[in-house]
Structure 1
Amino acid sequence: MEERHLEERQLELIKTSIFKIDLTQSKISSTEMPDVTTDFYTYIRGCVSEVSKANGGRKFKLRSNNTEVVATIYSVLKDAGAVFDGIIPSRLLREELNVQEKIARMNREINEGLLIISTIEDLGVKKVLLCKVEDLEYIDKINFTLNSGYPIKRRIFRSAQFILDDEGTIVDTIVHDLNSKGATYWWDDFLELDQLWDDVYNTKTAFNIIDTKVLSKIKIDSPADYTYLRNSAIRYFRTSQEFTIEKFIENCFENYEPVRPDKVNVENIKIKIKELPEKFSFDERFDLKPSEITAKIKYSVKLNEDIDLVIKDEINIEQTIFPEIHHKLKYIRIRSDAGYDAFNKTQK
């Protein structure tokens, strides 16, 4: 089923090299590309497909065309008979050994695994992909002994996509890391890339674009929904350590029931938000800088000709303001010690 799905996507593996990174023995070894009828081929193809179609990556820019990884990519692209040899995996081995030495004192270690390097064409777009598949230990269910292997699910731990134009020039670079805190060595030391946008830029831009291009448009049709959703967005940006477009949507919209369902289509909002990073130039994933979010909720609701309700900064509306109907008349009840004391004194 997976193979048929990949063919429908018109995924072509043009050149693929596979290397085992052995940190224990400090060596690399090349593995032949398996026959298309084998499970291992299906696995490798599935890994490449997963990287190519992955969401939630971060954009980078080349530090130089002469860095070891990029120069090797260009060298292979220019020679139809060339293949990816040990240059790139040897560099990864060196960098991972350096990192392993630094983190050993913290009782942490880098997992060994496979490095897959593949030149592909996917849906008419040519790319060079690098992905690290890490070994995972398991207990064999037949003989109950400790063994290791490559996971079928959650298999890609780190990857990079180098997007090519028709002339074979790298025009875009996207890096993925399965860990919530991306490994700096992967993009900085190994790939020698620079972030296209830093975390401060991403935090400010993402919030402002979501607010102005999506949330503010709800305000006209449903002020109450606008207040709830903007409040939720501010809370996410102020309290979360990391932004991912999927987690943001899940946190703020997945279980949201609109006050005005006739005016607010949550599914359409989710689709619009997913499109924002590409349209307005910010990353789908980055570390949040809460201090950059200066927006405060200050929203005025006209209750009648003489009274306005002003909401300032972040509050939990659901636990503070309660709409009610008594004898066919509409009211709001506000939980407030200060308000109670003030009006109780007035009534006395």
Structure 2
Amino acid sequence: MENLEVLEYSLHRVDVKTDAPVSMALDGTAEGLKTYTELVLKELLESPRSRYFQFKDMDELVPSSLVAISSGEDWTAKSTQIAQKLYDVELIVQDKIKQLTDVRMGGLLQLKIRHDESLKFVIIKIDNSEYLDEDNLDLKSGLPTSKSRLQKAAVITFTPEHTVDEVIVSDSKSTITKYWYLSFLIAEQLQDSETNTKNAFNAIDNLLTKEVKKISPVDYWFLRNDIVNHFRNEDSLAYDELVDKVKAHKPETDEFKEKFDSFVKKFEELPIKAAKTFDTQFDLVSSSIKARIVRKVMLDTNFELRINGEVDDLKSRIFARHDDKGKFIKIYSDKGYDEFKTAEDN
């Protein structure tokens, strides 16, 4: 990654089973630190799981400390205070969940960097024991770019006037951990989950209609059914998981098979290129898209097929066929059978 300079750095072990955060020594001259920072920053800035936030109150500890550091105040003192804030927050969380599990231990890596002529602060809770040499931040073999390395992260970009320009938050889980942004960073989403759900579903639905339906209606219905199922039955959306689901689709027609790669690329770019953009990690509010989920297929002048939501295993329930009399669709349905069966069917 070009145009990257590490200005300040710190690593604290944050473990609620200890009495306080423990500062870990780092060798800032080690090439491993810069290499690790480049990997982390690239993953965060290009992450398929991120959400834009804003600080609720600039007088809170984390934002006020970052402003102070950007103006030249002592890095060591302020970064230690930030580590202590996370430790205090996790103590409270641990007390609430102690009957169920433990807050995941990790290292809090804080970086002050110059990147593309902008001052940025990177705050990350990482699995430092498995991938990182705590003495000098030399990368170990194994999974140096694994998504699970970064538990929770925030990238805060500053203007030349020492004001916050942008706050990006991400999480290795499918949903962003609430205590990380609500209690530690004291931040709020720029775009709420209902708006994100609407924008994401509408953008995907429009893309399917434009890029798939005219080329291969059968692929359109199967893909749409899978996506409706995801929006209706999942609590949150991690867009990379949805992209993987789309990539796993097997085109039903030769026409769509030729266009499939370009369709997937457009699907991946939707969060930033749709008419109404959306975050790539947010809680789903399925009630906000209820009206958009229903679709109708005109079968004949007096017949229509109404698809109300997702259909379990759609591919094994409906088929298009033809015989000597013409074209028809075959749908497996106990209720439909009971309504139309004749004496010959008994």
TM-score range, shorter chain: 0.7 to 0.9
Report the equivalent of 1:116.
109
Alignment partners' CA distance in 2, 1:197 and 1:342: 48
Matches within 5 A, 1:68-147: 68-79=61-72, 82-85=74-77, 86-106=80-100, 108-123=101-116, 125-134=118-127
* 2:228 alignment partner in structure 1: 234
Distance 1:246 1:347, change over 3 A: same
For residues 157 and 98 of structure 1, the distance between their equivalents in structure 2, rounded to whole angstroms, comes to 19
Whole-angstrom CA distance in 2 between matches of 1:50 and 1:42: 12
- The change in CA–CA distance for 1:29 and 1:44 in structure 2 (over 3 A counts) is farther
**Does the Cα contact within 8 Å between 2:175 and 2:237 map onto a contact in 1?**
no
Letter in 2 for 1:127: K
Normalising by structure 1, report the TM-score: 0.79
TM-fit CA distance, 1:131? 0.5
Name which of 34, 37, 47 aligns with 1:54.
47
Q: Which residue of 1 aligns with 2:56?
A: 63
Match of 1:191 in 2: 185
Tell me how far apart the structure 1 counterparts of residues 333 and 13 of structure 2 sit (CA, whole Å).
Answer: 64
In the alignment, is the contact (CA less than 8 A) between 1:258 and 1:266 conserved in 2? no
- Give the counterpart of 1:297 among 294, 297, 301: 294
In structure 2, do the counterparts of structure 1 residues 151 and 322 end up closer, same or farther at CA, with 3 Å as the change threshold?
closer
Establish whether residue 281 from structure 1 lines up as the match of residue 280 from structure 2: no
* 1:320 aligned residue: 317
Cα distance in 1 between the residues matched to 2:262 and 2:107: 40
Q: SS of the counterpart of 1:71?
A: helix
Distance 1:174 1:343, change over 3 A: same
Matched, 1:265 2:259: yes
**Aligned match of 2:165:** 171
Partner of 1:250: 244
1:24 aligned partner: 17
Instruction: In structure 1, give the amino acid aligned to 2:104.
Output: N
Once residues 314 and 16 of structure 2 are traced to their aligned partners in structure 1, the CA distance between those partners, rounded to angstroms, is: 54
Task: Note the C-alpha offset of 1:237.
Answer: 0.6
Letter in 1 for 2:226: S
Letter in 1 for 2:96: K
Look up the match of 2:136.
none
Return the offset for 1:337.
4.1
Could you say what secondary structure the match of 2:266 adopts? helix
The percent identity for this pair of structures is 27
- Could you state the TM-score of these two structures normalised by the residue count of structure 2? 0.80
Query: Bigger shift: 261-270 or 288-297?
Result: 261-270
Distance 2:179 2:113 in 1: 25
Equivalents in 2 of 1:204, 1:44: separation in Å?
35
Give the whole-Å Cα distance in 2 for the aligned partners of 1:263 and 1:102.
51
Q: 2:5 aligns with which of 12, 21, 34?
A: 12
Deviation at 1:70, TM superposition (A): 0.8
1:3 corresponding residue in structure 2: none
Q: C-alpha offsets along residues 241-289 of structure 1, whole Å, 9 cap, x if unaligned? A: 2211111122244223143525872322222233232342322111222
- Given that residues 4 and 38 in structure 2 are in contact (C-alpha distance below 8 angstroms), is that contact kept between their aligned partners in structure 1? no
The one-letter code sitting in structure 1 at the alignment partner of 2:185 is: L
Q: Which residue of 2 aligns with 1:333?
A: 330
Check 1:134–1:326 CA distance in 2 against 1; reply closer, same or farther (3 A cut).
Answer: same
What do the CA deviations read for 1:37-67 (whole angstroms, capped 9, x no partner)? 4656644554454334433112211112221
Give yes or no for contact 1:112–1:135 (8 Å, CA) kept in 2: no
Counterpart amino acid of 1:183? T
Write out per-residue CA displacement over residues 173-210 of structure 1, whole angstroms, 9 at most, x where no aligned residue: 11112233433221111111112223222222221222
1:234 deviates by 1.2
Q: Which of these residues, 148, 151, 159, is aligned with residue 157 of structure 1?
A: 151
